[in-house]
């Protein structure tokens, strides 16, 4: 790219005059618009669960789940202050449901994932089917489906919410509406979708009803078993043993706008430097370790959450066997032909 043209008096005068007609010179800003490599305000950051858990519980004393509609503390990237975003295209937050509470039913065009961090026995209901949530479970709320949450257990329940809110906002396609009652009627038995679509088989004449997977709860126990079984085989030196959650009809990503995956890092394993264009959020399920992101080390343990910005080198070092849940906007980038990766240091 060429250097920015000098700003002479005549040119500045011209820019001011055309500005009154809602015009601007491309040559004055082109270098910042079309960059040789990705440039992002997103910064590497880690949220230590032990530090923020007291605030999550305090929120439960200040406002009810029904009053808040969704009682969530947003994980706001320090480089995106005031944007309610963890990356340029994704939102993340930690939601609390106390025993006996219900988060009222609603629906919206934004797609959502839930990844259970703490507690067991609460439920999410999606379009008439409930699923009980346990630590490490990955639960999907597809776009424009009625959903509510409740807690029938005797302990607080906390999960990580991930949504494509900033992406939908950038496209100006947000719609939302509430349901007349706090809870949508239950019309299918718990586990119905997993039984129909989650065993490597689908009903013979079934056609995908939507681009999101019809399986809306991927239980951690099953996913962990898959990782353990593959642990005996080769491991990607840059990514560890990573498995993506898939749509059973297509084998593609489970969600059209958010890619989700689990990574196993054996004890002592150190990944080779890796970078990709999809800024990625990681939630630690098991183990401890250090991730060096853009040269900055972040020590993590179970229930911690951290973010790797777009096109920034990351190296993961597992102190003991670790499992990380990750999500990003990779499906969108792939669909548009924009996704890239680089294996090895710059």
The three state secondary structure string of 156-187 is CEEEEEEECHHHHHHHCCCCEEECCCCCCCCC
Q: Tell me the per-residue pLDDT of 263-318, one tens digit each, with 9 for 90 and over.
A: 999 999 999 999 999 999 999 999 999 999 999 999 999 999 999 999 999 999 99
Whole-model pTM? Answer: 0.95
Token pair in block for residue 27: 């040559």
- What H or E segment, with its residue span, contains residue 296? strand 296-300
CB 111 within 8 A of CB 331: no
Could you give the 3-state DSSP secondary structure of residue 10?
Answer: helix
- What H or E segment, with its residue span, contains residue 68? helix 65-68
Q: Which residues contact 70 (CB under 8 A, 6 or more apart)?
A: 95, 103, 161
Q: Which residues contact 76 (CB under 8 A, 6 or more apart)?
A: 82, 83, 84, 85, 86
Residue 253 has a pLDDT of: 97
Distances from the Cα of 125 to the Cα of 140, 157, 159, angstroms: 10, 15, 15
Residue 346 has a pLDDT of: 58
Nearest Cα neighbor of 96 from 114, 76, 78 is 114
Tell me: pLDDT of 208 over 90: no
Could you give the 3-state DSSP secondary structure of residue 119?
Answer: coil
Nearest Cα neighbor of 193 from 209, 176, 177 is 209
Nearest Cα neighbor of 133 from 191, 202, 210 is 191
d(CA 231, CA 240): 10
Residue 186 has a pLDDT of: 81
**Which residues partner with 314 through β-bridges?**
274, 293
Q: Tell me the per-residue pLDDT of 161-206, one tens digit each, with 9 for 90 and over.
A: 999 999 999 999 999 999 998 888 887 867 778 767 777 777 777 7
What are the phi and psi torsion angles at 104 (to 5°)?
-60, 150
Tell me: pLDDT of 149 over 90: yes
HSE toward the beta carbon, residue 35, CA cutoff 13 A: 7
Q: Which residues contact 196 (CB under 8 A, 6 or more apart)?
A: 202, 203, 206, 214
What are the phi and psi torsion angles at 235 (to 5°)?
-120, 130
Structural domains for the chain: 1-34 (no CATH), 45-343 (2.60.120.10)
Distances from the Cα of 299 to the Cα of 47, 148, 288, 339, angstroms: 11, 35, 8, 28
């Amino acid at each position: 790219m060429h250097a920015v043209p000098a700003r002479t008096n005549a040119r500045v005068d011209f820019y001011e005059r055309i500005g009154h007609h809602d015009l601007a010179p491309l040559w004055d800003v082109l270098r910042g618009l079309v960059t040789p490599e990705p440039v992002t305000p997103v910064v590497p950051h880690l949220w230590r669960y032990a530090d923020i858990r007291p605030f999550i519980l305090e929120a439960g004393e200040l406002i009810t789940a029904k009053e808040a509609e969704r009682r969530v503390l947003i994980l706001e990237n320090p480089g995106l202050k005031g944007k309610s975003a963890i990356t340029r295209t994704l939102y993340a937050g930690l939601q609390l449901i106390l025993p006996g509470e219900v988060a009222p039913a609603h629906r919206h065009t934004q797609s959502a994932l839930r990844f259970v961090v703490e507690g067991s026995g609460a439920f999410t209901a999606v379009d008439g089917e409930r699923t009980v949530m346990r630590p490490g479970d990955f639960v999907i709320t597809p776009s424009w489906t009625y959903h509510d949450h409740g807690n029938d257990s005797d302990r607080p329940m906390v999960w990580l919410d991930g949504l494509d809110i900033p992406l939908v906002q950038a496209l100006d396609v947000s719609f939302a509406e509430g349901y007349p009652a706090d809870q949508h009627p239950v019309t299918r038995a718990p586990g119905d979708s997993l039984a129909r679509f989650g065993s490597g088989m689908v009903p013979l004449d079934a056609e995908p009803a939507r681009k999101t997977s019809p399986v809306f709860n991927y239980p951690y126990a099953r996913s962990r078993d898959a990782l353990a079984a593959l642990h005996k085989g080769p491991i990607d030196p840059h990514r560890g043993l990573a498995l993506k959650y898939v749509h059973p009809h297509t084998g593609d990503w489970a969600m059209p706008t958010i890619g989700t995956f689990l990574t196993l890092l054996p004890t002592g394993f150190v990944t080779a430097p890796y970078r990709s264009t999809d800024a990625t959020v990681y939630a630690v399920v098991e183990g401890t370790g250090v991730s060096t992101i853009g040269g900055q080390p972040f020590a993590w343990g179970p229930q911690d959450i951290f973010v790797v910005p777009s096109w920034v080198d990351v190296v993961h070092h597992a102190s003991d066997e670790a499992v990380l849940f990750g999500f990003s906007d990779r499906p969108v980038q792939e669909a548009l032909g924009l996704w890239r990766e680089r294996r090895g240091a710059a």
